[in-house]
Every structure is written in structure tokens, then in C-alpha cells.
Amino acid sequence: MPLVSKDGSTLAATFATGGSAGPFGSVDLGTTQINTIGSYFANGMLTAIVPDGSLAVMNTADEHMQLIDAKTGGGIPSALDALSEVCDPVFSPDGTLFALATNCGNAGTTFVLEFSSSDLVIYDFVEATGVFSNPRTLVTTGAAGQSAFAFPSFSPDSKWLFFQGGNYSRAKYGTNQHGSDDLYVVSTQGGTPISLDRTNAAGVTFADNLHLNYAPTVNPIAAGGYIWVVFTSPRNYGNVMVAPNPAQPAPLDTTYSNHKQLWVAAIDQSIGAVDPSHPAFWMPGQDETTANMFGYWTLAPCKATPSDGGAPATCATGFECCSGFCRNLGQGLVCVNNPGGCSQLGEMCTANTDCCGAGPSVGCVAGVCQNTVQ
């Protein structure tokens, strides 16, 4: 499955070689040229990539992981080499954390996509050295009455981890079986997972549509004071996509009657001890007659600030620019070098005090000045 680095520079994926597994590869999205395709005999299925696209992790079909140079495809020795029964890797938007599912178990088998029990673990990560350290378990089998935790994804400020929790990692498996799953969030400092009840169930009117929430992915940039999550669900969509009642081929099994579709939910940026989520909406533009799954958010490749007197690139906000700054110099908004002074909303920052109007409602989130309350 492909995904793109936070800065929009690099697409990483595993390429199938006749089955569903194969070598790691990456594409430079600025030039649309392939950077590398690794060994044909690799058994990769899932990937994770650091924010600037320089490093990646390949997760193999038999539940192992390897740190990889995303530009050359070469393996890099790391603490991941000693791990087994590990699934679903992901880096945080600030590049300092790495999360994964561990102890992925399924009746003695080891297939990265299918497991009925697991734990969620987080590591500290230093990109400059490729060092993973300080592993700690955030969620363990049995938490919140669930056994399998999958598809972790970090909030834009890297302080929270969203994930899928239930009795099985996969939406459909075996013969007329499906995972009964919902979406949760937990602090990266640890604590009790919070069920995203409104996203999971608000507006769901049929019992066979409940607990069909899979594979959340978080937008690395907060917008409008909200964190935005896209996830997969075969739930009914109004009167456009409605499973028979009872659904076929098995009674009350919507996963075999509807196609998977992408749904989006807003999450309050200020997360406390209660459900911060809002009802999900169907993402417009999908073909409801085909399956759509595993949505990923990313930014477009950044726009350069010309230093040779050429025409400046137009922009709408600072994070579109490689410099991190977008200003109106008299001819509309364009990418500029650091103009000095405080950073406006959408522009680059390293601390809350860098932002114009910093205070309870404005701060530096994941390197960008943003509204912090909705």
C-alpha cells in the first residue's frame, strides 16, 4: 500500500511480484521519477516513512520490520531487526516517535494483515542516527474490552495516537467473517484509550452497521481548529448505498453487501477525557460501486522561493512554501524567505512564541502556527 511523506516529496510503497508482497520502492514526486526499487525477493507489504521522505520502514508479510534508506532502497541496521510479530508501522509528523502493533497473534499464524490480538507500542526515534529507543506499551490486549489493535496514526502535534481496536485486524476474512472494530485515541504519554463514539456510531441506524470502522489515518496538519481523520467503513451511505436487511451472503453482515468507502471525521483539537469526535461524513467523489480503502493525507511538494529574481510561486498559506512563509508583497500571496518578526497562521514555527497572537487560541502545532481551539 502506498503512502506519501508529510512534506509531499516522496511516495513509498511495496510492489507486488505476483502475489500481494514484494520489494520496497519510492518515487520522487517532484520529478515523478522512481528513486529505487529494492530486491525482487523482498517480502514487503506495509511501509512507513519519515516526514522528509529520507527514511522508511518496510513491514514484511511474515511480521518483521526493516529500516530503509528511502532514496536507495538499502537496508539500515536498527533495533527493528530483532523484532518479530510486529505490524502496522507509522512515524509521527515531527519525526521523533514511531508506533507499531506488537505481539500480533492469530492462532499460531504470522501474516501481517490478519491478527486477533496485539499491543500498541511507541518508540523514540532520532532520524539523524536512525536510532529507535525507549519502547513503551501504550495499549495492551484486553484494554477497553478489545484484543486486536491496528493501524496507529499520530495527531498533528504527535501527542495523541489514533487507532483501530476490536476483535480482529481485518474487515473481511475467512468465510463470511469480519472484524468488529471501532476507532480510539490514546495519549502518547499513556493512559486510558478514549472511544470515538460519535464517529463510530452517530447516524448509524442499523445494528449490522455498527463496529465497522477500520484503518484511521490523520491529516498531519490541523485545520479549522480540528484534527481530521479518514477511515474505511462499509456502513450504509444514506439511501445511495444500503445493504439488504438481512445482509447477504450471511445474515447481518454489511461488510459482504456494501463496498468499503472512505469516511472523514473531525476531532476536537483539545482532547481531554471524554469523546472528542464528531459524526463522520462520506467523502464526496467516490464510486460507491467499487471498494475504496486506506486513505492517506499529505501535503503537495513545497514551492521554492526563487533567489534569482524569477517569478515567486503563488501560495495560500506558509506550509505550502519550502521556506515556510507566504506573504503578500503587493502582488498577491507568494512564497518568500523568512521576513522576520512573528509567524502568521499557516507559517513555520518552532515554539508557540514564534506565532503572531500566541496564546490560548493560537500556537505552534507540528511546526506550523495554527488555531488551537475550535
In the structure, what pLDDT confidence band is assigned to residue 367 with cuts at 50, 70 and 90?
Answer: confident
Residue 26: its pLDDT value, please? Answer: 95
Q: Which helix (H) or strand (E) holds 252?
A: none
Q: How many residues does the chain have?
A: 374
Question: How far, in Å, CA of 17 to CA of 246, rounded?
Answer: 39
Query: Which grid cell is 222?
Result: 490541523
pLDDT at 278 over 70: yes
Q: Which helix (H) or strand (E) holds 47?
A: strand 44-49
Question: How far, in Å, CA of 150 to CA of 114, rounded?
Answer: 10
pLDDT digits (tens, 9 = 90+) for 150-185: 999 999 989 999 999 999 999 888 777 889 999 999
Residue 246: its pLDDT value, please? Answer: 54
- Nearest Cα to Cα of residue 269 among 211, 218, 342, 231: 218
Q: Which residue has the cell 538499502?
A: 74
> Using the 8-state DSSP alphabet, how is residue 201 labeled?
H
Query: Which grid cell is 360?
Result: 490560548
Q: Is the pTM of this model over 0.85?
A: yes
pLDDT at 341 over 70: yes
pLDDT at 257 over 80: no
Question: How far, in Å, CA of 232 to CA of 254, rounded?
Answer: 13
pLDDT digits (tens, 9 = 90+) for 192-245: 999 999 999 998 888 888 999 999 999 988 887 899 999 999 998 887 887 776
